[in-house]
Amino acid sequence: MAKAKKSREGTVMVLGGGIAGVQAALDLTDLGYYVYLVEKSPAIGGVMAQLDKTFPTNDCSL
């Protein structure tokens, strides 16, 4: 097993890449931080990515 080490100041880990995690990650970068977005499945998006349209605006947008 390769062991990589990622050590940097000014970073935040976000665990879970659903809409909540993605939004937190985006906002953190706008606030000046580098983010590791850790997602257990092969893609980010969480449940929202499975939804057809979403209330209240019923568009897909993301």
Partner 1 sequence: MVEAGRSPNIEILTNADLISLKGKPGSFKADIVQRPRYINADDCTACGLCTTYCPRHQEDDYNEGLNITRPIHIDYPQAVPATYYIDPRSCLHLTHDTCQICVPVCQSKAIDFSQQPEEMTLEVGAVIMSPGFGRISEETLAKYSYGKHPDVVTSIEFERLLNPSGPFAGEVRCLSDNRHPHKIAFIQCVGSRDIGCNNGYCSSVCCMYAIKEAMVAKEHNPEADITVYYMDIRTQGKDFDAAQKRALDKGIKFVRAKVADIMPWGDHLRLTYSTLDGKHNFKPFDMVVLSVGLESPPDAQKLADMGGFKLNKYDFCATDTFTPLATSKDGILVAGAFNGPMDIPESVTQSSGAAGIAAGLIKKQRGKSLIHKTYPDEKEMGDDVRIGVFVCHCGINISSVVDVPKVSDYAGDMDGVVYYTESLYSCSQDAQEVLKDKIKEHNLNRVVIAACSPRTHEPLFQETLKDAGLNRSLFEMVNIRDQCSWVHANEPDAATDKSKDLVRMAVAKARHIQPLPEQTVPVTKSGLVVGGGIGGLTAALNLADQGFNCALVEKQDTLGGNYKKLDHTKELIAQVKKNKLVTVYTNSELQQTSGFVGNFSSIISSGKGAKVKETTLDHGVIIIATGANEHRPETVLGNTVKYSQNIVTQSELALQLEGKGKSRAPKSVVMIQCAGSRGDDLNYCSKTCCTTAVENALTIKKINPDSQVIMLYRDIRTYGYAEDLYQEARQKGVLFIPYEMDNKPSFAEKGGKITVSFFDPILQDDITMNPQMVALSVGMVPEETDTLSKLLKVPVTADKFFLEAHVKLRPVELPVAGVYVCGLAHSPKPVNEIIVQAQAASAKAAMPLVKGYVTVDPIVSNVDKGTCIGCRLCTSLCPYQAIQMVKDENNKPKAETIVASCKACGICASHCPTFAISMGGFTNEQINSQIEAFGSGIKEKEAA
Ligand X SMILES: Cc1cc2nc3c(=O)[nH]c(=O)nc-3n(C[C@H](O)[C@H](O)[C@H](O)COP(=O)(O)OP(=O)(O)OC[C@H]3O[C@@H](n4cnc5c(N)ncnc54)[C@H](O)[C@@H]3O)c2cc1C
Q: How far apart are CA 4 and CA 16, in angstroms?
A: 21
> Alpha-carbon dihedral of residues 24, 29, 34, 38, nearest 10 degrees?
30
- If one asks whether residue 17 binds ligand X (CB under 6 A), the answer comes out as yes
Q: Which residue type, as a one-letter code, is found at position 8? A: R
Q: Which residues bind partner 1 (CB under 8 A)?
A: 1-59, 61-62
Position among 11, 34, 36, 51 found at the interface with ligand X (CB under 6 A): 51
Q: Is position 12 an interface residue for ligand X (rule: CB under 6 A)? A: no
Residues within the interface to ligand X (CB under 6 A): 15-21, 38-41, 46-48, 51, 54-55
